[in-house]
Chain A
Amino acid sequence: DAGVTQSPTHLIKTRGQQVTLRCSPKSGHDTVSWYQQALGQGPQFIFQYYEEEERQRGNFPDRFSGHQFPNYSSELNVNALLLGDSALYLCASSPEYGGGHTQYFGPGTRLTVL
């Protein structure tokens, strides 16, 4: 059973560009969350998708947007990249919508903004 997969593994962009990161949840999971982990920090919640809708959003600007597809996979888009967007972006899936369910994390996408 494949776990959470993310692509690409690494990405280098320049300031002002746009980027799309992709996530496939664990089989049978319908809820996907995205987190940003800056170097030396704990992950910070960006947003969560369930039934193709954004259900909750963390303290991130509108430059960060997302999408969930009917097969539950998800994309994270970041526009007008800033140097401070350099981080590890983690996708997590859970088997049900709601609190208390374990979130299973993917290996992440390392984004470097030059």
Chain B
Amino acid sequence: AQSVTQLGSHVSVSEGALVLLRCNYSSSVPPYLFWYVQYPNQGLQLLLKYTTGATLVKGINGFEAEFKKSETSFHLTKPSAHMSDAAEYFCAVSESSSNTGKLIFGQGTTLQVKP
């Protein structure tokens, strides 16, 4: 069965510091991997996704993530945090063999950005 683990339910960084949000997955087949962001009282917005090809994926708002098969990881990074990055971040996986693309989400990581 697929699963996603996000290490650290809360991460706090200073404005301008590196952001690193960790995600590990479990999947019996090659995965599709996603990062979504959720601002308070809103739905989820896609930051980036990995399906095939280049393992370093660039997304919106300066975020990027690298698919590491050997480590079953898909960590999200941003070189310099902005106050506007404060939000809830979710990592998700779906099976490449799935007809529906059903997403399995992690528990989420709350990113706090301090001035």
Contact = CB atoms under 8 A, between A and B. Distances in A.
Contacts of B74: none
Given A100-B32, A100-B51, A102-B49, A45 B44 contact: no
Interface residues of B, number: 29
A37 to B, nearest CB: 9
A42 B109 CA distance: 10
A107 B41 CA distance: 7
Chief secondary structure at chain A's binding surface: loop
B103 A103 contact: yes
B105 interface: yes
Contact of A90 (B32, B44, B101, B106): B44
B45 A105 contact: yes
Interface of A: 4, 33, 35, 40-45, 48, 50, 55-56, 58, 90, 92, 94, 97-108
